[in-house]
């Protein structure tokens, strides 16, 4: 899988574009570094040949990496929708509330 790995300081994000196993933890070193991306300065360095090589071997880019590749012209196609985390409904009770009611003794 080709995905971003965050590096840099607090409040100054920078990302490496790395090839890694799908089940690897985010901070582990990848198999190969394929480039870098700095969102504040929009500076992007990509190894186009290596990215296309690994995609031809079956590596799949994450949605964010795919969108970066399309924007920079490494790949052709449409951008993918990057889903944000789903917010919990405000009127829904927290998960622990039902179990707490069951544990309290009735008088």
Note the pLDDT tens digit of each residue in 41-72: 999 999 999 999 999 999 999 999 999 999 99
Lookup: tokens for 68: 């970066």
Question: For 4, phi and psi rounded to 5 degrees?
Answer: -85, 145
The tally of domains found in the chain comes to 1
* Secondary structure letter of residue 24 according to DSSP: S
Q: Which domain holds residue 60?
A: 1-107
pLDDT of residue 33: 94
SS3 content of the chain, % helix, strand, coil (to 5): 25, 25, 50
Q: Report which of residues 30 and 93 the model is more confident about.
A: 30
Q: Is 11 left (phi over 0), alpha (psi -120 to 50) or beta?
A: left
pLDDT of residue 88: 53
- Rounded Cα gap, residues 29 and 31, in angstroms: 7
pLDDT of residue 28: 81
Q: Report which of residues 103 and 32 the model is more confident about.
A: 32
Question: For 69, phi and psi rounded to 5 degrees?
Answer: -65, -40
The answer, yes or no, to whether residue 98 has pLDDT greater than 80, is: no
pLDDT of residue 66: 95
Q: What is the CATH number of the domain that holds 52?
A: 3.30.1320.10
pTM reported for the whole predicted model: 0.72
- Rounded Cα gap, residues 20 and 66, in angstroms: 15
Q: Is 27 left (phi over 0), alpha (psi -120 to 50) or beta?
A: alpha
């Amino acid at each position: 899988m080709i995905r971003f790995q965050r590096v840099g300081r607090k409040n100054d994000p920078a990302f490496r574009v790395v090839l890694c196993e799908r089940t690897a933890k985010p901070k582990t070193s990848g198999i190969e570094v394929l480039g870098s991306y700095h969102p504040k300065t929009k500076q992007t360095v990509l190894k186009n040949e290596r990215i296309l090589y690994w995609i031809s071997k079956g590596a799949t880019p994450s949605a964010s990496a795919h969108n970066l590749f399309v924007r920079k012209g490494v790949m052709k196609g449409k951008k993918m929708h990057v889903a944000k985390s789903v917010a919990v409904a405000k009127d829904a009770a927290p998960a622990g509330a039902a179990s707490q009611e069951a544990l309290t003794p009735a008088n």
